[in-house]
Amino acid sequence: MDQRTRAVHVVNQRFPEGSWPLSVPLVQSSAFAFSSADALAAAMAGPDGQYVYSRRGNPTVRALEQTLAGLEGGAGAIAFASGMGAISGVLLALLRPGDRVVAQRCLYGGTYAVLSDLAARHGIHVTYVSGDDVGEFERAAQHPATRLLVLETVANPTGQVPDLPGLLAAARVLGVTSLVDNSLASPVLCRPIELGADVVVHSTTKYLAGHSDVLGGAAVFADDGLRRRVWPRTVELGACADPFAAWLTLRGVPTLPLRMREHCANATVLAERLAGDGRVRAVHYPWLAGHPSYAVARKVLSGGGGLLSFELAGGREAGRAFIERVRVARIALSLGGVETLVTHPASTSHRELDAAALAQAGIAPGLVRMSVGIEGVEDLWEDVERALS
């Protein structure tokens, strides 16, 4: 089935009267009543029974979980209060003291922080690899305690796309569970489970919801047994999705394919024009032929995505000046909404790093990150040109 059809026809409950609402109802109740003690006890047995308490399950939240599982081609999903809730919940459920993790070197800062905390407090050993070399991963994963491979479909802000087919196949052979953060690609551009991933996580705040008005996360599982293994820990952590947040996300999902088409089209035009501008040292966008991940991106993605970054020749001051001169775009840290957002990582998200640390992270002092929205592309280019002048 076409992803546009899947997105429009979100999962909804049927009603016994023979008709039902076209939109998913918002069930805001925190608890649910039963006719007998036995019925309540039976409902407590697992994640898919009758609703008991909204931390354990909710009709609106379950509709979102089933919708996202369908979009990603998974057996089931768990919705969380945030993307970091999804990542933390899965890591804490799957890892034990002494386990080893192999992770892509260019990771979202929040994921890196959680892995560092697990390493310091629980004796989890983390090895970082490039993500481009299957042999490097295989050597790092030889230890019998290696349990997990952590990857991102598209890295932020460099646009790196790891060798997902090769790495996921190698992990499967070695018996290592694989987790892929698909937030920047969305299931419209990539479905990592079809490439061999065991778990796909999302910050649903980003492209899935798409309107900068909701905080949420999700984990989608290739195998339902793994979902059932993770679910009890998520109930204990209390990182469950709020019904209203789930409802808002479900409102955004039907337009996801249309929005992603515009995000990709606008970002590609801007990236190509910036690449030909002498005031720009480098452009990082995986759909450009000169990008290091270009070949694998063309193999695993159906579009370049809506996030790009570019380096200005004037260094840190040039980057700061650029984001303060834009008028259509907004200065903000998030991404994936319908509006264009810009940040200067060296003075915001990575401001505590010195020059050497920034270089190691692949972030030049004059790097600008742009989450390209769905505005008219000529308006965006005029805004960029004015800020560059």
Residues with a catalytic annotation lie at 55, 108, 181, 206
- Give φ, ψ of 257 to 5 degrees: -60, -35
Q: Beta strand pairing status for 177-181 and 199-202?
A: parallel
Q: CA torsion angle for 353, 354, 360, 362 (degrees, to 10)?
A: 70
Sequence-distant (6+) residues with CB within 8 A of 225 are none
CA atoms within 13 A on the CB side of 327: 8
Q: Residues of 198-232 as b/e, b for ≥16 C-beta within 10 angstroms?
A: bbbbbbbbbbbbbbbebbbbbbbbbeeebbeebbe
Measured distance CA(387)–CA(40) in Å, rounded = 61
Which of helix, strand or coil describes residue 128?
strand
Sequence-distant (6+) residues with CB within 8 A of 378 are none
- Which residue from 31, 85, 13 is spatially nearest to 245, judged by alpha carbons? 85
Measured distance CA(139)–CA(342) in Å, rounded = 38
